[in-house]
Amino acid sequence: MPRRTVSRETTRRFRRRTLRVLVEYLCEAGLCCDPATTLGAGGLFIETESPQREGARLKLRFRLPAGETTHEIEGRVVWARSPGSPGSPGMGIEFTDRAAAARLARELAELDGAS
């Protein structure tokens, strides 16, 4: 039987949105601030020239465009792309704080309803 390839898109549990928000996070170098270019209730992509190592735990802080709530949420780096690799350098973050991710999901759903 031929092996079936599953893309990242088909394994995602949450819808991703293309947007640009600044994300503050504590990293090994201290406080960092880089843009997130995609965001969903399960995680986000941070575009950075200095991605953290896979498995690193981060405390993130950001506000959605036109949002009033500052989200503080914990996550972990599930993949990283170094400068010089194909695609934008950065890191994929999976949210690990379920309660905070649920609050974010509610705000994202409200934004979807407003458009």
Instruction: Provide the domain limits for residue 100.
Output: 12-114
Alpha carbons 64 and 50: distance in angstroms, whole number: 23
In the chain, the number of structural domains is 1
At 66 the pLDDT is 80
Is residue 7 domain-resident? Answer: no
DSSP one-letter code for 86: S
Is residue 1 domain-resident? Answer: no
Is residue 57 domain-resident? Answer: yes
CATH number at residue 99: 2.40.10.220
What are the pLDDT tens digits along the chain (115 aa)? 444 444 444 444 556 678 899 999 987 778 999 999 999 989 999 999 999 999 999 999 999 988 888 999 999 999 999 999 898 999 999 999 999 999 999 988 887 665 5
At 10 the pLDDT is 42
At 8 the pLDDT is 47
Is residue 43 domain-resident? Answer: yes
Phi and psi angles of residue 82, each rounded to the nearest 5 degrees, phi first: -75, 155
- Indicate whether this model's pTM tops 0.75: yes
Q: If you search the block for the tokens 């974010």, which residue do you land on?
A: 104
At 15 the pLDDT is 63
Is residue 76 domain-resident? Answer: yes
Is residue 69 domain-resident? Answer: yes
